[in-house]
Structure 1
Amino acid sequence: MDDKTAYQEKMNAKLDEWKADIDKLQAKARQAQADAQIEYKEQIDELKKRRDRMEKELEQVQSASAEAWKDFKDGADKAWDAMSDAMKNAWNRFG
């Protein structure tokens, strides 16, 4: 397995994990009181935006040539870190 394929698999696995985490937060939001539901919704909306950005970064990596994909990797890594931080913050706040 080459580096690009391994990286793509790692990113896909993490995206799947984040999607499941967002679903869990949405379930908690439905159980929360009205005021808390607003906060949950705002946080979940932000997480979804970040997840969508991460998916676009992954698409760029996947479509890049064997030589060029490493250039996209830097941007994807930054988006990855931002998503990780946002997810941790959401779980610390609501989890």
Structure 2
Amino acid sequence: MEDKQSYLDKLSLQLQKWDDELDALKIKADSAKAEAKVELQEQITELREKKAAAQTKLKALQEAGDEAWDEIKAGAEKSWTEIRGAFDRAFSKFKKD
């Protein structure tokens, strides 16, 4: 079983990776045609909101005491899975373009 600090470090690294992916999408949006650009910008906005929610979950995890850790971790894992799915869908869609 992963200890608390290792788990938090892993989530922090994932947030950084999502920052990098958002930067890559922004570059793609900047060079896209008008219709694709609007769609990319909307997707970037949505992903930034989801990433902000993930950062909030990470902060809650960092502040959680041992008693609440398992419950908060379970909620964070669910959120992380949803966010990862949103990033994966966005990238698979726009890699085709």
Residue 79 of structure 2 corresponds to 79
Higher relative contact order (CA 8 A, sep 6+): 1
Residue 13 of structure 1 corresponds to 13
Unaligned runs of 5+ in 1: none
Q: What secondary structure is seen at the aligned counterpart in 1 of 2:11?
A: helix
Count, aligned residues: 94
Q: What secondary structure is seen at the aligned counterpart in 2 of 1:67?
A: helix
CA deviation string 1:20-58 (max 9, x = no partner): 000000000000011111100111111011100000000
Runs of 4+ in 1 over 4 A off after TM superposition: none
In 2, are the aligned partners of 1:62 and 1:69 still within 8 Å (CA)?
no
Residue 88 of structure 2 corresponds to 88
Q: CA separation in 1, counterparts of 2:54 and 2:78?
A: 9
In 2, are the aligned partners of 1:22 and 1:44 still within 8 Å (CA)?
yes
TM-score normalised to the size of structure 2? Answer: 0.92
AA partner of residue 19 (structure 1): D
Q: Percent identity?
A: 35
Q: CA separation in 1, counterparts of 2:49 and 2:57?
A: 13
TM-score normalised to the size of structure 1? Answer: 0.94
AA partner of residue 3 (structure 1): D
AA partner of residue 72 (structure 2): F
Q: CA separation in 1, counterparts of 2:23 and 2:91?
A: 12
Q: For the aligned residues, what is the CA RMSD? A: 1.0
Unaligned runs of 5+ in 2: none
